[in-house]
Amino acid sequence: MFKATIDADILKSSIETLSVLVDEARFRISTEGLSVRAVDPANVAMVSFELTASAFDDFAADDCEIGMDLTKINDILGVAEKNEKATLELDELSQRMSIHIGGFSYTLSLLDPSTIRAEPRIPQLELPAEVVLNGKELQKAVKAAEKISDHMSLGVDEDIFYMEAEGDTDKVRLEMPREQLIDLKSGEARSLFSLDYLSDIVKPASKSNEVTLELGRDYPIRISFTVAEGAGKISYLLAPRIESD
Amino acid sequence: MFKATIDADILKSSIETLSVLVDEARFRISTEGLSVRAVDPANVAMVSFELTASAFDDFAADDCEIGMDLTKINDILGVAEKNEKATLELDELSQRMSIHIGGFSYTLSLLDPSTIRAEPRIPQLELPAEVVLNGKELQKAVKAAEKISDHMSLGVDEDIFYMEAEGDTDKVRLEMPREQLIDLKSGEARSLFSLDYLSDIVKPASKSNEVTLELGRDYPIRISFTVAEGAGKISYLLAPRIESD
Amino acid sequence: MFKATIDADILKSSIETLSVLVDEARFRISTEGLSVRAVDPANVAMVSFELTASAFDDFAADDCEIGMDLTKINDILGVAEKNEKATLELDELSQRMSIHIGGFSYTLSLLDPSTIRAEPRIPQLELPAEVVLNGKELQKAVKAAEKISDHMSLGVDEDIFYMEAEGDTDKVRLEMPREQLIDLKSGEARSLFSLDYLSDIVKPASKSNEVTLELGRDYPIRISFTVAEGAGKISYLLAPRIESD
């Protein structure tokens, strides 16, 4: 059993955090909310997503797992107008989800969860450095790097968070000292990442005022932020590339 | 003889109601105004268009028939700024139309009307149900259906106007009860239409606050609305598709 | 030696006036400012560009000549926000230009000036007619002509500046009498120009309130305007096409 009502905008931004990495996802539903863990087809990035029952106006659910086509839901949520509510209701017998938004009733066939890639195990990582900044600033840095290269380094050097990208002939570097950041925990950190992934991930992150980056030396980066006033939590883990000297 | 001045915006929206179905049209000019009847190349939809002399600031004409390339006129009207007037003047000898808009003078070769498809006969139809609604609402319903399928059903069920679209696996339904409509005349009505045509037709209709739909059981739909404060009348007739069960 | 700070917007619009004709340019730097003269690959249009030291907030330079990739600089200047400053600094040893904008530091490899086409000689021309008009009006005329043809005539007839374009079947003419112009010096003038070039040139010109056109009979047109409150001067020379009767 699953029946829930939520602000369509919140649901839309939540789905978008997943759809930058995967087209289909297994949603784990419990009395406490929804959660998804997914890894992209190339095994480079992973997303861990949680939307607690408190993000919903109404929420009633038993434990279950369903598969959904994210592109379809994104499309459907596109009809919602500002401040409209979306009501989801699962029909377990027919394996269909009905979605009601502003007079429209959609009936969507679910995907068989067993056909969707299994949930990844989230690795335990000790990431020494931590940077908290505005999502828009992060997106701007990624866009600047894209003009020069298809990889970018992110690192911490004492009281400075920096990013650097180097093309065949040109280079760009951005330094953000502690006072331009919301928070900085210094530590040894510098890793190279593919801009393909970073630019997808910073799209949803750019809507958040507070994005947390956790970094290490040639280690994955963890990029996390919340939605729905903290009731939704998104965390990406992106594997580093090997930096050639 | 034909010489007339009109608000360029009104002329532009009028031409657009035709150009969603055909690229060239025969305009019938009389002392009472302009009129066009055209059928699309596949014989699925028909438009009947009328712009009476009162829609014009100045209007002087003898009976005649001219052929025009709608894409060219649309292009030309694109240079008009808000509230600018367009003056049309026919040169019968050279078979050219001159169009003056804000300092620009266009001279456009007319098409030989005999090379343009003949006017269709408008069939006499008894359409039992009638729905009047805002054009934007109609467009929204069509857009929602397009996400699921390439056909949609429109029907009336007692006090409810509904639309429904069904894809291979998914379904959408919108119900609008009488109180959400401007007017409803109930009657037996449900027909299936191609979304290709409907989405073209609702583009000009979406600018109108009052669009009238006339419907029957597996019958064509008539979609009508006015422009230029009632001085222009547009009416589409769209053939139904066969609904397979 | 070259080190200078300037409003990023002014630099951006300056670079754009060059990039409509060429992808790479030789910048001549002196104590008085920057200047560029370039001719397009087909030898049809030429631009002469000057940005005096007074356009800069800070400007320190010795005489030198550098080659730059205009697309790259355009890209980089795209990260600038409203009212942000750009600081350029030349590293002569490594032949690199560093560009600082709002926290970002770009290091750009310069091009060897000897690989870029030599500066054209600006021909001495006696152009009898002169028209001064708003850049937006000029752009509108060019856009109107593009709907009909790929060439347009510009000319002066007594107190009227006119433009005309003729397609296979259709024609457009715009007349601007002296009172619609900022200034008019009458003289014998009518020449035909390729719209490919004109529409590129009017893009930067359209941002200027005062664009000066100098014209003759089957002669090149000179299109000039200023940026940075007169501290920057741009002048295009566009060769005429042969008008067939």
Q: For residue A196, give every residue at least 6 positions away whose Cβ sits within 8 Å of its Cβ, in sequence order, or none.
A: A150
Task: For residue A104, give the nearest of B170, B174, B180 by CB distance.
Answer: B174
Q: Are β-strands A96-101 and C183-185 bridged in parallel, bridged antiparallel, or unpaired? A: unpaired
First-to-last alpha carbon distance for chain B, in angstroms, is: 56
For domain B129-238, give the fold: Proliferating Cell Nuclear Antigen (3.70.10)
Per the CB < 8 A criterion, the answer to whether A213 and A221 are in contact is yes
Contact of B226 with B38, CB cutoff 8 Å: no
Among candidates B147, B170, B175 on the partner chain, residue whose Cβ is nearest the Cβ of A103: B175
Q: Which CATH superfamily is domain B2-115 in?
A: DNA Polymerase III, subunit A, domain 2 (3.10.150.10)
Which residue among A79, A104, A109 places its CB closest to the CB of B170? A109
Contact (CB<8Å) A173/C105: yes
Q: Cα–Cα distance between B1 and B218 in angstroms, integer?
A: 45
**Mean pLDDT per 10-residue interval, chain A, length 245 residues:** 96 95 96 96 95 97 96 92 95 94 94 90 91 97 94 96 94 96 97 96 96 97 96 97 74
- For chain C, list the contacting chains (3+ Cβ pairs, <8 Å): A, B
Q: Which two tokens stand for residue A40?
A: 């992209």
Q: What pLDDT band is residue C73 in, cutting at 50, 70 and 90?
A: very high
Annotate C161-192 with b (16+ C-beta within 10 A) or e (fewer).
bbbbbbbeebbbbbebeeeebeebebeebbbb
The SS3 call for residue C64 is strand
Average pLDDT, chain B: 95
C45-52/C232-238 β-pairing: antiparallel
- Residue pair A70/A23 in contact (Cβ under 8 Å)? The answer is yes
**Smallest Cα distance from A1 to chain C, Å:** 49
User: Residue C137 pLDDT > 80, yes or no?
Assistant: yes
CATH of domain A2-113: 3.10.150.10
| Residues in contact with C121: Cβ distance below 8 Å, sequence separation at least 6, in sequence order | none
pLDDT at C242: 81
Give the H/E segment covering residue A45: strand A45-52
A109–chain B Cβ distance below 8 A for any pair = yes
Structure tokens at B87: 């003056």
d(CA A53, CA B204): 43
Q: What is the dihedral of CA C24, C26, C29, C34, to 10 degrees?
A: -60
Tell me the pLDDT band of C238, cut-offs 50, 70 and 90.
very high
Task: Kindly tell me if the per-residue pLDDT of B245 is higher than 70.
Answer: no
DSSP sequence for B164-199: EEE-SS-EEEEEEEGGGSSEEE--SEEEEEEHHHHH
Question: How far is the C-alpha of C33 from the C-alpha of C52, rounded, in Å?
Answer: 4
> Among residues A87, A13, A20, A91, which one has the least CA distance to residue A51?
A13
Q: Residue A119: what pLDDT?
A: 86
- pLDDT above 80 for C245: no
Mean pLDDT score, B202-222: 97
**Chain-centroid distance, C-alpha B156:** 23
Share of chain B above pLDDT 70, in %: 99
pLDDT at position C244 is: 65
**Domain-wise residue ranges, chain B:** 2-115, 129-238
Helix (H, G, I), strand (E, B) or coil at C187: coil
- Is the sign of the CA dihedral B205, B206, B208, B212 positive or negative? positive
Is the minimum CB–CB distance between B176 and chain A shorter than 8 Å?
Answer: yes
Burial of B32 by CB count in 10 Å (0-12 exposed, 13-18 middle, 19+ buried)? middle
CATH of region C129-232 = 3.70.10.10
CB-closest option in B75, B78, B103 to C174: B103
C154 in Cβ contact with C144 (< 8 Å) = no
Average pLDDT over residues B173-192: 96
**Percent helix, percent strand, percent coil in chain C, to nearest 5:** 20, 45, 30
Q: Name beta bridge partners: A208.
A: none
Residues of B in contact with C172 (CB under 8 A): 76, 104-107
Cβ <8 Å between B173 and A76: no
For residue B244, is pLDDT > 70? no
pLDDT recorded at residue B120: 87
What is the secondary structure of chain B as a DSSP string?
Answer: -EEEEEEHHHHHHHHHHHHTT-SEEEEEEETTEEEEEEE-TTSSEEEEEEEEGGGSSEEEE-SEEEEEEHHHHHHHHTT--TT-EEEEEEETTTTEEEEEETTEEEEEEPBPGGGS-PPPPPPP----EEEEE-HHHHHHHHHHHHTT-SEEEEEEETTEEEEEEE-SS-EEEEEEEGGGSSEEE--SEEEEEEHHHHHHHHHHHTT-S-EEEEE-BS--EEEEEEEGGGTEEEEEEEPPBPPP-
Asked if A104 is an interface residue toward chain B (Cβ–Cβ < 8 A), one would say yes
Which value, in Å, is the radius of gyration of the alpha carbons in chain A? Answer: 19
Cβ <8 Å between A106 and B171:
yes
Each residue's pLDDT tens digit, B130-148? 999 999 999 999 999 999 9
A79 in contact with chain B, both atoms CB, cutoff 8 A? yes
* pLDDT, position A90: 97
Contacts of B109 in chain C (CB under 8 A): 169-170
The whole-angstrom separation of Cα B245 and Cα B147 is 21
Distance CA B216, CA A110 (A): 35
DSSP A1: -
β-partners of residue B54 are none
How many whole angstroms separate alpha carbon B4 and alpha carbon A192?
68
Interface ipTM: 0.83
Contact yes or no for C8/C17 (Cβ under 8 A): no
Mean pLDDT of B97-115: 94
**Number of neighbours of residue A245 by Cβ within 10 angstroms:** 2
Which site among A101, A108, A112 would you substitute to test the B interface, given the most B Cβ atoms closer than 10 Å to its Cβ? A108
Helix (H, G, I), strand (E, B) or coil at A203: helix
The structure tokens listed for A19 are 């759809």
What would the pLDDT profile of C209-222 be if each residue is shown by its tens digit? 999 999 999 999 99
The mean pLDDT of C162-179, rounded to a whole number, is 95
* pLDDT value at B156 more than 90: yes
The mean predicted confidence, pLDDT, of chain C is 95
